[in-house]
Chains A and B, each alone.
Chain A
Amino acid sequence: MRNLKKWGPPFLLILPSLILIGVFVYGLIIVNFNTSLTDAHTAATSSGNAPTNYTGFSNYVELLSSDAFLFSLRNLLIFTLVFLCGTLLIGFVWAWLLDKPIKGEGIFRSIFLFPMAVSFVASGVVWKWLLSPIEGETATGLNRLFQMVGLDFLQNPWWSDVSVGIVAITIPAIWQLSGYIMALFLAGFRGIPDELREAARVDGASEWQLYKSIIFPQLSPVALSAIIIIGHMSLKSFDLIMSIANQSVYSTKVPAIDMYVFKTTYDYANSAAVGSILLVIVAVLVIPYLIHDTRQRRK
């Protein structure tokens, strides 16, 4: 009874949020999983006008054995790896360049960060042009620029290439998010006390040893959050691909696009199954991180 009096009011205050998240996150995940086990593949079944039956995991089996969906998963893996490496590398270098005293630091920082404020749909309008797949005399976009400066050999079909086209989509993604990673790393650099660096220098550590033993270990929590942030964003990537290549282009297919395509044809069961697969992939990445984070917090 005393406990109720003590914990009741705070619990009541956050109850609305808990209910909303309970329903809109956990509740809907369960309903989605349930739909993914049915044969709701047509407009009639999806709207409830025709009966649906449970078919177990058959949708998953079919998806995971279809070449088209495996291609989406492969694209997702490539996209995530290149996106991660690109933003981490560029973000780190920018932070490193700006960490030492330099004129106009604030201006550079704002310039690197500004693409973040822009939507993928808006930046997609211009990237669609820049990454135009037309080559040769009538080339446009970056291919045209390469031609103008005499670097014709750099011309390539960008996102329309079936095997590695997805890599082209990472260029705008990296353009947009590197500044964010820079901000995280810059905060990391600034968090390392100067005394620590000085002490290492006095002890005769070389620049490389200083980085290896002091700076990199101090930055590893930042790198971990950066990987989680970019990783989970990448797994959900949708806007950028839709605005550059559109849903019907095979070379840039990823699961989030498949999910939308299934939905537009009222194939709710497969749409839900793709959603669940994405959820599992994200969970594998994020749950260990959240557990790690909770443990740290308790300390």
Chain B
Amino acid sequence: MSTVTKKKTEERFSIGRTIRYVLLLLSVIFIFIPVYVLIVTSFKNGAEANPLHAWYLPESWVLDNWELAWKQLSAPILRTLQMVIPAALISSMLGSINGFVLSRWRFPYANLVFTLLLFGMFIPYQAVMVPLMKLVLGLNLPTGVPTLILIHVVYGIPITTLIFRNYYESVPNELIEAARVDGAGMLRTYWSVVLPISIPSFVVVIIWQFTSAWNDFLFALFFSTPVNGPVTLALNNLANGSILSNYGASMSGALLASLPTLIVYILLGKYFVGGLMSGSVKG
């Protein structure tokens, strides 16, 4: 009797499991359709890289597109790195300090201040763009990398503060209290106790800021030119700018421009997911 029931549940279980696998595989196909087209087109020669042949494998695999894309995008990629690395580091440092203060040293109205900071994360940047352009002009800031660093740092403050604050809230009070009892001031406590245990949060925040600054197009379009701008702008120019689009090069370019974030994501994916799940928000 019992073996029959067991067999039945196993059977039902395996049917359910088959359906689940089928659904998951269909989803994987949905995800990979664009990837397939990108990859095969990037290796096609000029005649084959034609929309009518988009779904076929290349008859001859060539690297010309990759060479051309590299020639066009290597300088923008380098510029983007020069922009994204300082932007991610500075905004995580600020976020860490803010998060520490807002979770541990609550001054009057700290909650209101925090909510006002958070709103900065949700504002549509369209609502500050016109005066921001005037401000940048008025301050005589150079277009391109330096201005974009400033912008990504400033508008990164809300999200980095939120992630660090959530993390520090979970740190046991005793740890901080012990340092205070030992006579450590706020800065000392931050530097010797809090900062060393913040590494996991720094990893999450830096990945997050790196990805969002790397992928930004809106600010790039308003505050740089194809000559001094980041890779998203150069890629858009490569794909949509010329009259006779070179499809193969556009596709190689799109892959090339995505490699750094993909590498970061593959190497540190576990933390990336952790960061996404820790209730962090960004648009």
- Same assembly: yes
**Contact, CB under 8 Å: B261 / A14:** no
**Contact, CB under 8 Å: A126 / B254:** yes
- Does A10 belong to the interface (CB within 8 Å)? yes
Collect the chain A residues with CB atoms within 8 Å of residue B21's CB: 102
Partner of B254, one of A100, A123, A225, A271: A123
Partner of A17, one of B52, B94, B239: B94
- Complex CA–CA separation, A90 to B127 (angstroms): 31
- Does B108 belong to the interface (CB within 8 Å)? yes
- Does B264 belong to the interface (CB within 8 Å)? yes
With A32-B131, A130-B34 as contacts: A282 and B157 at CB distance below 8 Å: no
- Complex CA–CA separation, A84 to B52 (angstroms): 33
**Contact, CB under 8 Å: A119 / B217:** yes
- Does A155 belong to the interface (CB within 8 Å)? no
- Does A83 belong to the interface (CB within 8 Å)? no
- Complex CA–CA separation, A129 to B33 (angstroms): 12
Partner of A236, one of B125, B130, B132, B269: B125
Q: Mark B102-127, 1 if CB is under 8 A from A, else 0.
A: 10010110010111111110111111
**Contact, CB under 8 Å: A31 / B113:** no
**Contact, CB under 8 Å: B127 / A119:** no
Q: What is the CB-to-nearest-CB distance from B202 to chain A, in angstroms, rounded to a whole number? A: 17
What's the tally of chain B residues with a CB closer than 8 Å to chain A?
Answer: 92
Q: Mark A125-148, 1 if CB is under 8 A from B, else 0.
A: 111111010100010110011001
Collect the chain B residues with CB atoms within 8 Å of residue A130's CB: 33-34, 37
**Contact, CB under 8 Å: B51 / A102:** no
Majority SS at the chain A contact face: helix
Partner of A110, one of B38, B114, B186, B269: B269
* B residues 203-246 touching A (CB-CB < 8 Å): 211, 214-218, 221-222, 232, 235-236, 239-240
- Complex CA–CA separation, A216 to B27 (angstroms): 23
Q: Mark A104-124, 1 if CB is under 8 A from B, else 0.
A: 000011111111011111111
**Contact, CB under 8 Å: A235 / B257:** no
Majority SS at the chain B contact face: helix
- Does B97 belong to the interface (CB within 8 Å)? yes
With A111-B31, A294-B115 as contacts: A286 and B97 at CB distance below 8 Å: no
- Does B98 belong to the interface (CB within 8 Å)? yes
- Most chain A CB neighbours (cut-off 10 Å) among B23, B134, B283: B283
Output the nearest chain B residue to A285 by Cβ-Cβ distance: B122
**Contact, CB under 8 Å: B129 / A238:** no
Q: Mark B1-40, 1 if CB is under 8 A from A, else 0.
A: 0000000000000000100110110011011111001100
- Complex CA–CA separation, A5 to B278 (angstroms): 34
**Contact, CB under 8 Å: B118 / A290:** yes
- Does B144 belong to the interface (CB within 8 Å)? no
Q: Mark B185-204, 1 if CB is under 8 A from A, else 0.
A: 11100000000000000000
Collect the chain A residues with CB atoms within 8 Å of residue B87's CB: none
- Does A297 belong to the interface (CB within 8 Å)? yes
Closest 9 A/B residue pairs (Cβ): A140-B51, A119-B215, A10-B105, A279-B127, A28-B128, A7-B107, A31-B131, A275-B127, A187-B277
Could you show 18 A-B contacts with beta carbons less than 8 Å apart? A32-B131, A98-B24, A102-B21, A113-B272, A114-B262, A117-B264, A123-B254, A126-B254, A129-B54, A134-B51, A144-B54, A225-B281, A243-B217, A243-B236, A256-B124, A268-B130, A279-B123, A282-B124
Footprint of B on A, CB under 8 Å? Answer: 7, 9-11, 13-14, 16-18, 20-21, 24-26, 28-29, 31-32, 35, 90, 93-94, 97-98, 100, 102, 108-115, 117-130, 132, 134, 138, 140-141, 144-145, 148, 172, 175, 180, 183-184, 186-187, 225, 228-229, 232-233, 235-236, 238-239, 242-243, 246, 255-256, 259-260, 263, 268, 271-272, 274-276, 278-279, 282, 286-287, 290-291, 293-294, 297-298
Known: A10-B107, A287-B119. 12 other contacts (CB 8 A): A10-B105, A13-B186, A17-B98, A20-B153, A94-B24, A115-B31, A124-B239, A126-B34, A126-B37, A236-B126, A275-B126, A279-B127
